[in-house]
Amino acid sequence: MLNIVLANDDGVHAPGINILKETLRSIANVIVVAPMNERSTTGHTLTLDTTVRLEEIADDVYACNGFPADCSLMAIGHLFKNPHSKYYGQKIDLLVSGINRGANLGQDVYYSGTVAAAREAAFHGIPAIAVSSCMDFKNPDKNTLYYYSASNFIKTLVQSNISKAIPQMTLLNINVPWCAEAEILGTKVTRTGLRKYSEDIEERLDFRGRRYYWIGGVYKGFEEFPDSDCQAIEDKMISVAPVKLCDYGRSQMEIIEDLKGFLENIFPR
């Protein structure tokens, strides 16, 4: 069976990663390495100025005090390379980061800890996927069964050998509508879009009269252009966006066309 590492930025106890673990364990060896606490919107941070700790809190489930990219690196550089580890001598076939609580669309991929964990794996030549469930935080429906729409989609991809179809130095950023599987209208290979935010900075005073600030902002929609990840979610379709990390090898358009062919074999129209 494949060795699949799961990471995230919502924390090791988050429902998304645990539902994904439950779903994939029937078809793969699943090892979870995730932050001890929530690390959302931390980008591609690595812990270089203090100690990193790793604790096995259940069989094949590890909590790390670092950031999402640290979690990937601890799996790659420690758990699978340490002669004293039970995984020593094996290889990681796929790293999946998620399932994130909320969308990672448009330029949000550059802030996302979820995407960073996948990107760190891709930097090390490991096929990587970031997957998010697009919960609407303005009108939150907290039905955790909707995570299965994403986890079952990932399971189907794994069973179809997606790990062989992801080019080097490319990750797949997958966003799934926050709804039941039966309500999803299809799957679309997309390009990274552009979301609009008000980017408000709110100034306040503390009890000593000193200024402090909250970075906030309200989501204002997205730029409309063909095949964007934002538009796919608006149309209640699963968005599969290849994110190319280096400018060599196949072009972005070649990768998109190859991926379209791969997905059409699995999900014929």
Whole-angstrom distance, CA of residue 193 vs CA of residue 108: 9
Q: Which amino acid is at 210?
A: R
Structure confidence at residue 218 (pLDDT)? 77
Structure confidence at residue 269 (pLDDT)? 66
Whole-prediction pTM value? 0.94
Average pLDDT of adjacent 10-residue blocks, the chain of 269 residues = 97 97 98 96 93 97 98 98 95 97 95 97 98 83 88 98 96 97 96 86 84 79 89 97 90 93 86
First and final C-alpha spacing in the chain: 30
Ligand-binding annotation for 141, yes or no, is no
Ligand-binding annotation for 161, yes or no, is no
Locus of tokens 């990390």: 245
Ligand-binding annotation for 251, yes or no, is no
Cα–Cα distances in angstroms (integers) from residue 160 to residues 27, 50, 163, 267, in the given order: 11, 41, 9, 11
Pairing between β-strand 28-35 and β-strand 2-7 as defined by DSSP bridges: parallel
Ligand-binding annotation for 136, yes or no, is no
- Classify domain 2-194+224-266 at the CATH class level: alpha beta
Structure confidence at residue 250 (pLDDT)? 85
